[in-house]
Structure 1
Amino acid sequence: MYKYKKKIVLCMSVVMAVTVLLEVVLRNKSAHISYSIKLGVECSCCDGKLSTDTITALEDNRTFIISPYYDNRDGNKPMVRILSIIHHQEVKELYCYFCCSTNQSVKISKAFIDMHSDRFGFPYVTTDLLCEEPPDCHAEYLSVHTSPSRQMTQLPIVPIQNRDVKPFSANFTVCISTMFGNYSNVLQFIQTMEMYQILGAQRVMIYLNSVSPQMEKAMEYYIVRGILEVVDWQIQRYLRPGKSWRHSVDPKDIGYYGQLATLNDCIYRNMYRTRYVLLNDIDEIILPFTHMSWDTMMKSLQHQNPNVGIFLFENHIFPQTVPIDGNFSDISLWKDVPGYNILQYVHREPDRPEYYNARKMIVDPRRVVQTSVHSVLKAHAKYVKVSLETALVYHCRGPIQKKLLKTKLIEDKTIWKYNGSLIKNVNKILGEISFQ
């Protein structure tokens, strides 16, 4: 009798698990969410198993595939660029197994391993695996392995993206990398999302590791409305991610939860979906001085710099330790929302001539090959440093120059140009979301 009870309990557990999984899939589908569910799905892809996770680990546990992208921009042979994370010393050879669509045959080519130059001392590095597509083999899926003599049965298969080029669905897409640490700055998040839209963004993409329950509600609001796309980024399942970008500060496997990999992936995901991509963090806003929107600013900058595809903007710190009362009306709803009110921070730290002033970027994704955080590593275009008279990166965070007196700060109320629209929009959203 105990044996049968055990079977019944097991069956009930399976049914419950499937039911929960279906609910997740349906909810995510209706919200247009980009979460990847870790499921082995059978397909007719050369007898392989379709991987639907954002990160696919190979058997060596030294190679992690993010996604393959068709890339024929060099004008040579058809190429597939497989964005990956690999151990910079222990991975020597990799091979691409192409699943040819016509007859389900498998053709193999050796991958050229192109590690990105920015690694910052970590053992794992963002890497492009470059494989020529074999002649007479139109492949929609491929697999990657350490040996050219593997059997395909039950090995992970990943779809090749960017084969179909369609009209842009957005002019501006903002890429936010690696939101982790149970991020909970809800008010600043909502304000920043609204500022992005006021300035001209039609899409925001976030690589999500962990956020607070209140943040989940705020994010769901934007997901349902088709503005926010979220990519599930559980890199800690495979590697020990550090919270710093320098290995000397946090000696783990990879820096800042794999930020460099996510930024590159976001560029390739949006390469043929958007005219421009902005690479910044959720506490940063590229604010124009002489224009009211990114559209008019970029038209002007592109006209002045026709051969430029990378625009770098100075990053300026607006410390959260120096708030002011702007005496704004109609913001009573804001006081119960966790997080910082960016309208209170209108003093920025002065430049330090002896230090590197980091910049953030607006790029034409079709002209970028590899990117870092503050610069592009490889590109098919020139870059320009945009003057401070044109725009800056409003970076509202903790202070960098902690001992600086308030009298040494520079008053900059550029963010107040958008007060009317911002307050109205934030109030509308807070009236529709319950954080209780």
Structure 2
Amino acid sequence: MPQLKLGSTRGCCCQIFRRGSAQTLRRTHWLAGLLFACICLTLAGFLNTEFLGSITTVPPFGLEKTFNTIHTADNDLDTPGAFLRSPPQTIVAYSLERQVEMEQREQIVCNNLLGMRPMSSQIHRINAYWQSPPHSGLHLFSAHYDARLDNYHYVRIISMVEGHRNASIYCQIWYDREVLVLEALRLDIWASQWDSNASIDSDNPVMFSCPVPRNISIDTVKRERFPLGVSVTMKPCESPRTFLPIHTPQISSSESRRDFAVCVKGLDFQRRDMSVRIAEWLELNLILGADKFFVYVYSVHPNLKRVLEYYSSIGVLEVIPLSLPGKQPNRPRQRSRYLKTNLWQKRRDELVPYNDCYYRNLYSHRFVLPVDVDEVIVPVKTSTWNAMFQELFSENPNLLDKYSSFSVRNAYFFDDFPVTDQSDVPKYHHILRHTTRSANFSPGLESVKSFVSTDGALTVFNHYTLRILRPSTARNLVLDINVAQMNHYRATCSSDTVPGCHNNFLKYKKRDALVLRYANQLVRRLVAVLKNLYLV
């Protein structure tokens, strides 16, 4: 809907007032009514006006220009890499309260459900990792308890829905001695304009939220009233055929939380041996400040499986098995072909592990970083992520109150670019030997990756916060390239970015040895791991 400009409506009202002063008395009532309407329109225009504040314009293509400051962006959402418009940050004092009050649902009494919590044999499973109410087209992956808003708690269910089904669904939240039944709220984790040619049968990522009444919410002090799990049904009191254990938060003070959880979407390297590449990537991220990795896995080469098991054994990595829902294929070779040839469905599927990972870490980490295994966020002025944020927050202590995620711009390190051979860097190092990048950074928010605050997002996607938790918070802030950059180690341009990628990234290149500051430490750590696993 077009925005009503404040200046034009104010001018309209003034013009009518001047005209009205010259009219006869018999038109007074008509003018008064019209004036009242203009006042209402002016107020409406004010409420819908976007207050852009201080925004730095993204430079055009060509040789890269450097921003002087960190900046926000405010463009319409056109592609998964474009920005969702930040909400107006005025008149929000009541917005959160009003929003959550509107989301509350009356509890439904279902006496027939007492003692009817489904046993494992009664659960309707699509495959090992997905459940579904029969004949519903609804596929359930995981459930999480969200107690971030005082007095307003939710059970969040990460799901996929076949096509455009939009029927009401109900949550049956199970406690030791009772069951709580409510209608669920639906929030799509996808924007329709990302894929305007989508099939009506596409599986779409959705988060269902079950608002828990205040008198039943978890007592975070006494740690009482933790729900056991949730069933999803199409009618409120019907016998459940699903049961998702709820990932119950280990609620603790913010001081005891770790800093950075790294989320990796489904790995599908059944034939290709990525063991050394990913071991190097893991070690570099540990040096930079990663506390723990959450790696979702379809199927991987035996050597890579050994690498993942090793890092899991030392407590810095958790493997979460993953499959595709619904009618999508799950035989490994067929699934690999399917994911390569169905790009938009693949992108939809990726949002399930990303949002599951985000909610797994609400209370254990301050930030979640959804990133691919060919991407590394490297601080420029500091040497670790922690030091980078300490410097940012020392300059502006209120950044976390203003922004839900902190985005880092993308620079390509293509395989075709010159490789640097150094006598003290073994040839199995990919990252340390690729020190030539595109001279241009990707423009604006294209291909950024972000540190997402676990206090600020409602849903996430590959690049930054998708939906915010609190209306007063902007979705993201893009860090200056003098603060951090994202090194993207790709083979070549992706098929959907040619020829623009060739003209703007392959054409211009420059040496970038920033990562070599970690060379001694990374070489020493990686060779120890590879020898331990008999991979060198």
TM-score normalised over the length of structure 2: 0.65
2:440 aligned counterpart, secondary structure:
coil
2:492 aligns with one of 396, 399, 402 = 399
1:405-420 aligned within 5 A? 408-420=508-520
Partner of 2:480: 387
Distance 1:48 1:388 in 2: 53
Residues 235, 372 of structure 1: alpha-carbon distance in 2 compared, 3 angstrom cutoff: same
Partner of 1:47: 117
Shift of 1:186: 2.0
Residues 297, 356 of structure 1: alpha-carbon distance in 2 compared, 3 angstrom cutoff: closer
Partner of 1:31: none
1:111 and 1:131 in contact (8 A); partners too: yes
Structure 1 vs Structure 2: percent identity of aligned residues? 20
Distance 2:509 2:344 in 1: 38
Distance 1:374 1:252 in 2: 16
1:207-218 aligned within 5 A? 207-218=296-307
Structure 1 position 367 matched with structure 2 position 437:
no
Letter in 1 for 2:188: M
Shift of 1:428: 0.7
Query: Over alpha carbons, which structure has the higher Rg?
Result: 2
1:128 aligns with one of 207, 225, 242 = 207
Partner of 2:346: 255
2:415 aligns with one of 308, 317, 320 = 320
Letter in 2 for 1:145: T
Partner of 2:533: 433
Residues 412, 403 of structure 1: alpha-carbon distance in 2 compared, 3 angstrom cutoff: same
Distance 1:252 1:314 in 2: 23
Structure 1 position 174 matched with structure 2 position 262:
yes
2:172 aligned counterpart, secondary structure:
strand
1:357 aligns with one of 443, 446, 459 = 446
1:45 and 1:157 in contact (8 A); partners too: no
Note the residue ranges of structure 2 that are not aligned, 5 or more in a row: 1-113, 217-224, 494-500
Partner of 2:188: 115
Shift of 1:166: 3.1
What is the CA RMSD across the aligned residues, in angstroms? 3.1
Partner of 1:38: none
1:322-337 aligned within 5 A? 322-329=417-424, 331=426, 335=428
Distance 2:251 2:278 in 1: 32
Question: Which whole-Å deviations, capped at 9, do the CAs of 1:332-374 have from their partners, x for residues lacking one?
Answer: xx55xxxx61112111123378786320001211211111211
1:58 aligns with one of 133, 138, 156 = 133
Distance 2:361 2:519 in 1: 30
Residues 405, 194 of structure 1: alpha-carbon distance in 2 compared, 3 angstrom cutoff: closer
The more displaced of 341-350 and 66-75 is 66-75
Shift of 1:106: 3.0
Distance 1:223 1:86 in 2: 32
2:152 and 2:213 in contact (8 A); partners too: no
Distance 1:47 1:352 in 2: 54
Residues 407, 124 of structure 1: alpha-carbon distance in 2 compared, 3 angstrom cutoff: closer
Question: Which whole-Å deviations, capped at 9, do the CAs of 1:89-133 have from their partners, x for residues lacking one?
Answer: 1241211112232x2x33321111111243533522221112122
2:117 aligned counterpart, secondary structure:
coil
Distance 2:186 2:381 in 1: 44
1:265 aligns with one of 352, 356, 359 = 356
Shift of 1:162: 3.4
1:54-93 aligned within 5 A? 54-60=129-135, 62-75=137-150, 77-93=152-168
Letter in 2 for 1:214: N
Distance 1:83 1:158 in 2: 10
Residues 323, 162 of structure 1: alpha-carbon distance in 2 compared, 3 angstrom cutoff: farther
1:100 aligns with one of 140, 157, 175 = 175
Shift of 1:325: 3.2
Distance 1:353 1:71 in 2: 35
> How many pairs were matched up?
381
Question: Which whole-Å deviations, capped at 9, do the CAs of 1:150-172 have from their partners, x for residues lacking one?
Answer: 124xx221122234313545321
Letter in 1 for 2:463: H
TM-score normalised over the length of structure 1: 0.79
Residues 405, 227 of structure 1: alpha-carbon distance in 2 compared, 3 angstrom cutoff: closer
Residues 420, 146 of structure 1: alpha-carbon distance in 2 compared, 3 angstrom cutoff: same
1:431 aligned counterpart, secondary structure:
helix
Structure 1 position 304 matched with structure 2 position 395:
yes
The more displaced of 159-168 and 84-93 is 159-168
Shift of 1:284: 0.6
Partner of 1:197: 286
More strand, by proportion:
1
1:60 aligned counterpart, secondary structure:
coil
1:174 aligned counterpart, secondary structure:
strand
Question: Which whole-Å deviations, capped at 9, do the CAs of 1:129-153 have from their partners, x for residues lacking one?
Answer: 121225765432110011223124x
Structure 1 position 294 matched with structure 2 position 367:
no
Residues 162, 100 of structure 1: alpha-carbon distance in 2 compared, 3 angstrom cutoff: closer
2:419 aligned counterpart, secondary structure:
coil
2:413 and 2:435 in contact (8 A); partners too: yes
1:421 aligns with one of 511, 516, 521 = 521
Distance 1:433 1:207 in 2: 21
Shift of 1:297: 0.3
1:286 and 1:394 in contact (8 A); partners too: yes
Residues 188, 142 of structure 1: alpha-carbon distance in 2 compared, 3 angstrom cutoff: same
